[in-house]
Amino acid sequence: MHAQDSRLCDEFESLLADGGQLVDVRSWQEFAAGALEGAVNLPLHTLPVRHQELDRSRPVLLYCVSGARSRQAAYYLSRQGFDEVYDLGGYAGLAGCLTAPR
């Protein structure tokens, strides 16, 4: 694992330890095929009606496949008044955080 990947994993783990809400903004089909442990599935297109399910007082950690949808979701949630929103990017890199030795 590269040093940059290791820093991403450390930040990811730290945010989760601080009570971060892990949100997968992929479709339910993508989520069903594989997701990070502890993630909730709020597909990007459902955020306008489902963002109230998230706790505004806790960090929100977003991911998708490549980072495009999570970036859109981060922008949307920030505009809705969420203070701590993190775009973690793609699923594949984060899955490595949970399984790869560092």
What are the residue numbers of the active site?
A: 64
- Confirm if 87 and 71 have CB atoms less than 8 A apart: yes
Provide the residue count of the chain.
102
* Sheet strands side by side (includes 40-41): 40-41, 21-24, 60-64, 85-90
What angle do the packed helices 91-99 and 3-17 form, to 10 degrees? 80
* Both structure tokens of 26: 């992929």
**d(Cα 11, Cα 40) in Å, to the nearest integer?**
19
